[in-house]
Structure 1
Amino acid sequence: MAGPAAGTSRLLRAGMGAAAAGLLLIYNSVDVAPASDPGPGQAAPPAATASASPGDAAPAAATAKPAGPAAPAMKRAKPTRLRIPQIAVDAPFTELTVNPAGELNAPPPEDKNLVGWYRDGASPGERGAAVVAGHVDTTKGPAVFLLLSLLVPGTKVEVQRADGTVAVFSVDSVETFAKNAFPDQRVYGKTADSQLRLITCGGVYDKKRKDYLDNVVVFAHLESSRKA
């Protein structure tokens, strides 16, 4: 893969939908402009206004149907490590926050093996849709979510948590959406059980816009939990 051009990542806005009680959620992407044709893409984590709290988004109208029974939701606990053996992911978490403009501060682009959790949303294992974002390439080369689009239904995703437990998710679907037609309520809406969203960028890289045109979203549900 060609090396990225000099410079740092920037925040871009693409529309992200309405929420309950007038809450506005903003979808951000984080992009590093490559010097030539890029790899699969760059991380595109979502964000919310600083007033957001877990479960504020309106219910999702068409969330991917779990392929199997969902396990009971767990208590809230910070995620510490993400493991997806099928695509060689074994990465620590960082917490993602929003800036004064309501845009998500993305994971540091210089760290290729790092995923970010939106800390004002549901924690992985807790009831709701927990949001995890990661880069697929950075100025250092291929990154943690390089192969995210290759996951298939039934793949296991493990999240180790600070309370000494592991939340085990099963992938329901892996879908690609154009950024200008992103189904925000389907991705971020309220859920009756514990779900997980893994998000990055994909599709064609638009050199003029310096942005990838699509987003890859993994939909998964909590299948089981255990002690670490």
Structure 2
Amino acid sequence: MAGPVPGTSRLLRTGMGAMAAGLLLIYNSVGAKPSSGPVLGLAAPPAAIGAAGAGPGSVAAPGAPALKPAIPTRLRIPQIAVDAPFTELTLDAAGQLNAPPLDDKNLVGWYRDGATPGERGSAVVAGHVDTAKGPSVFLLLSLLLPGNRVEVTRADGTVAVFSVDSVETFAKNAFPDQKVYGNTPDAQLRLITCGGTYDRTRHDYLDNVVVFAHLESSHKA
């Protein structure tokens, strides 16, 4: 198998670094100060999340057979330098998905009452793009491309490897619950963070960035 073209890895790292620097400049220029509470703003009807079976419009992507349920312990996305532990997420009184704690910039959350990553259904993982203290774990999430890999280490000693299908941005006031959370006939993953314009009055972003991915393979940790 042919090796990489000399200098390619360095150029990719340089390019990613430049994009990250650009995002940091944007962050600093708007004087962002995200709210101190949950800021994801996602409606998450419990009955719609992670249930087995095919929902309206759901299509099985070609991939690996679903795994048995197992709690996720660590998320790795090499393309955007993510290597973070998990915490469990719940819904608030209004039925919206609570965000991960704001005091840890390198932490992602998994909706514990839904599918586990690798299990049949739509497993939901959320993280902050930034907080009042600066950039956070999903700062570069919107830069992922179809075919990029997402690895989830699980408590049963397996690693579920997902392949990105698409990256989409939705207005928070028109969030497509069924598309994001709807039943799926296979094992899929949704990575979610804030995006779009930052509203200084509301101390919140107007959009959500959602990465859609399907289980491609699995192996022992």
TM-score tier by shorter-chain length is: 0.7 to 0.9
* Counterpart Cα distance in 2 of 1:194 and 1:52: 15
Alpha-carbon RMSD across the aligned residues, in angstroms, is 2.3
Structure 1 match to 2:44: 47
The Cα of 1:46 is off from its aligned counterpart by 5.1
113-122 or 132-141: which moved more?
132-141
* Counterpart Cα distance in 1 of 2:63 and 2:84: 25
Identity among equivalent positions (%) equals 72
Q: 1:177 is matched by which residue type in structure 2?
A: F
Tell me whether 1:191 sits opposite 2:191 in the alignment: no
More strand by share: 1
More helix by share: 2
Question: Structure 1: which 5+ residue stretches go unaligned?
Answer: 12-29, 31-42
Question: Structure 2: which 5+ residue stretches go unaligned?
Answer: 1-26
Once the two structures are superposed, residues 158-184 of structure 1 have per-residue CA deviations (whole angstroms, 9 ceiling, x without a partner) of: 000000000000000001111222211
83-92 or 199-208: which moved more?
199-208
Q: From the superposition, tell whether residues 165 and 190 of structure 1 become closer, same or farther in structure 2 (CA, over 3 Å).
A: same
Structure 2 match to 1:130: 123
Q: 1:154 is matched by which residue type in structure 2?
A: G
- TM-score computed with the length of structure 2 as normaliser: 0.79
Question: Which of 66, 69, 72 matches 1:73?
Answer: 66
Question: Which of 158, 164, 174 matches 1:181?
Answer: 174
Structure 2 match to 1:108: 101
Rg comparison, structure with higher value: 2
Structure 2 match to 1:10: 37
The Cα of 1:215 is off from its aligned counterpart by 1.0
Question: Which of 92, 116, 133 matches 1:99?
Answer: 92
The structure 1 segments of at least 4 consecutive aligned residues displaced by more than 6 Å after TM superposition are none
* Counterpart Cα distance in 2 of 1:78 and 1:197: 16
* Counterpart Cα distance in 2 of 1:225 and 1:53: 22
